[in-house]
Structure 1
Amino acid sequence: MFNYILYIENKGGGKDSEDCTKIIKNQYIKYFKKKNIKYIKKKNYIELYGSKSFERENGLHKIIRYSPYKNNSIHTSYCKVIFLKKSLYLENIYKKDIKYYYTKSSGAGGQHVNKTNSCVKLFHAITNTKVKCQKERSQNINKKIAEEYLKKKIIKKKKKELNKKNRKKKNEFNDTIRIYYFNKSIAYDKILKKKINIIKIIKGNIDFLFS
């Protein structure tokens, strides 16, 4: 299961900013490939599985270079990098946390439906989620269906909470953490407080950043 989402946002627009975003994105993809980190590219983000503290990369990445679009004049571009940890909600649903209630079914279905405790109600206290199933005559089948209902409802609720949390986080990380001086072939990392060979970084040789 992927446990990180990587957003790289273009700040400012224009072809130079688009190039900036591609350069930063490609350096991470090259790194993922070198380290055999599983990832999948989506339309607006990348999902990946990793054990590193990728959050240290969160912030603005500033690129200074001779613009190929503006007669090779010096141009400054920005993009925002955001690594967000995904909630492992699928692994947090345990049967011990679910309360099971069995009652007589109501509504259409004949005498058998009303005389047996075939209706199954589930309550997951941790997420305050309730479901009910009385589709079938068999209590056991209704129980399995209800468990699937509960799982889907909890996942939907967790995704909604995660998206809300991520939207809030995406408004943070406005500090510049690294400046790429392409005109000088160096990058300055503000966290490490030192200069780094820029070719080393854009080729994905960035393992030292996470040590």
Structure 2
Amino acid sequence: MLNDLEFAYTPVRDKVRDLREYLDAPKLRSELAVIEQKLSDPTLWSNPELSQPLMRDRKRIDTLLADDAELARRVGDVDAYFDLAREGEPVEEDLKREMDALSKFAESMETRTLLSGETDQLNAIVTVHPGAGGTESQDWAEMLMRMYLRWAEQQGFKAEMNDYQDGEEAGIKSATFTITGDYAFGQLSGETGVHRLVRISPFDQAKRRHTSFASVFVSPEIDDSIQIDIKPDELRTDTYRSGGKGGQHVNTTDSAVRITHIPTGIVVQCQNERSQHKNREKAMKMLRSRLYEYELEKKRQETKKLEDSKLDINFGSQIRSYVLQPYRIAKDHRTKVDFGDVDRVLDGYLDPFIRGYLLMRRNGGVPVGTADDDDLE
């Protein structure tokens, strides 16, 4: 058994070695010293545009150094168990458990090292819309909304609903919510696009198989350190009475706010707060995030760089299929990553797809999986 464990440990040890070389702790400490020196200047704190990016960089480096130290500690524990096992101590079960924990931690760290984009560390604003198909697609949109909310919960992130509109019979007509947590946008950035569901419809008395579509759009929640120029005369603001779920304040005052950015046609709305002022504030934050992503996408198109596969967002560009009938699988069409436990995916387990997308992004658009799309026809 010990030989088997040593054989299984080899790729884990190699991955840890590569990760620690990539992190380069001495270089990180040197960068941190420079940042600390800059932050020691008292005049810096009067300029948030300079201090906030430095604070983010310091937090990022501190986290990476802590991760490197944790890797070293876990490797030391595994090596100590191997020494005891070679001396004849019955520690194989403990050794296997520590190896598994190290492998999962290293894989999680590898995912985080892929999050190096300018906005990857920011919070995420997620919007879900059903496609054509009435109740079927509205129900599917609600399932997707729940999937992302469950993912956020599992990550220890906070989720706050900005706008929610019930479907006519079931599901939702639309939902927009903010997920707050470190690198929330970076992890969810690959979720933008069209998601397809294949299942036996619970709304069809004949129990026929149906295909439903819903679109997801993810943008970073832009903070004050990133300047977005929005001219008041380019905005049209409408107020209306809130609808859907809520307390006694719903449908009593025109507290809901819809803002249209006239040059781009981008529309955002918020109805979840009691006051019109708070709804407008949240809507403006959503608009700034959407405009930032809009400008980034224009630059990508102009330079024709395949930085990611979010450029063509329409119902002909489905990025992932979730098949519940006649077999069960979740498959990403860009990365070729698939996962057989589709119920677990719909319950928020997105790690294989997030990691696959980030690896593809790092590899210049080259998929990491091997599955055949024909399997989903």
TM tier, smaller: 0.5 to 0.7
* C-alpha distance in 1 between matches for 2:213 and 2:126: 16
Question: Which blocks of at least 5 consecutive residues in structure 2 are unaligned?
Answer: 1-121, 164-174, 232-281, 298-309, 356-377
Aligned residues: 152
1:69 aligns with 2:212: no
CA deviations over 1:43-75 (Å, ceiling 9, x no partner): 230111230331111110000111122221111
**Secondary structure of 1:53 counterpart:** helix
What residue number does 1:180 align with? 322
Instruction: Please report the RMSD computed on the Cα atoms of aligned residues, expressed in angstroms.
Output: 3.3
Partner of residue 206 from structure 1, selected from 350, 353, 365: 350
Partner of residue 26 from structure 1, selected from 135, 143, 146: 146
Return the TM-score normalized by structure 1: 0.61
Change in 2 beyond 3 A, CA 1:28/1:14: same
**Larger Rg belongs to:** 1
Q: Which deviates more, 43-52 or 181-190?
A: 43-52
**Secondary structure of 1:204 counterpart:** coil
Whichever structure has more strand as a proportion of its residues is: 1
For the 8 Å contact 1:189–1:196, the answer to whether it is kept is no
Structure 1 position 192, deviation (Å): 2.6
What residue number does 1:12 align with? 132
Structure 1 position 205, deviation (Å): 1.4
Q: Which has the higher contact order (CA 8 A, sep 6+)?
A: 1
Change in 2 beyond 3 A, CA 1:92/1:176: closer
Partner of residue 333 from structure 2, selected from 166, 190, 195: 190
For the 8 Å contact 1:3–1:88, the answer to whether it is kept is no
Question: Which blocks of at least 5 consecutive residues in structure 1 are unaligned?
Answer: 94-125, 130-154
Change in 2 beyond 3 A, CA 1:49/1:65: same
Partner of residue 85 from structure 1, selected from 205, 214, 220: 220
Structure 1 stretches of 4+ moved >3 Å: 126-129, 155-172
For the 8 Å contact 1:59–1:80, the answer to whether it is kept is yes
Return the TM-score normalized by structure 2: 0.36
For the 8 Å contact 2:332–2:353, the answer to whether it is kept is no
Structure 1 position 208, deviation (Å): 2.7
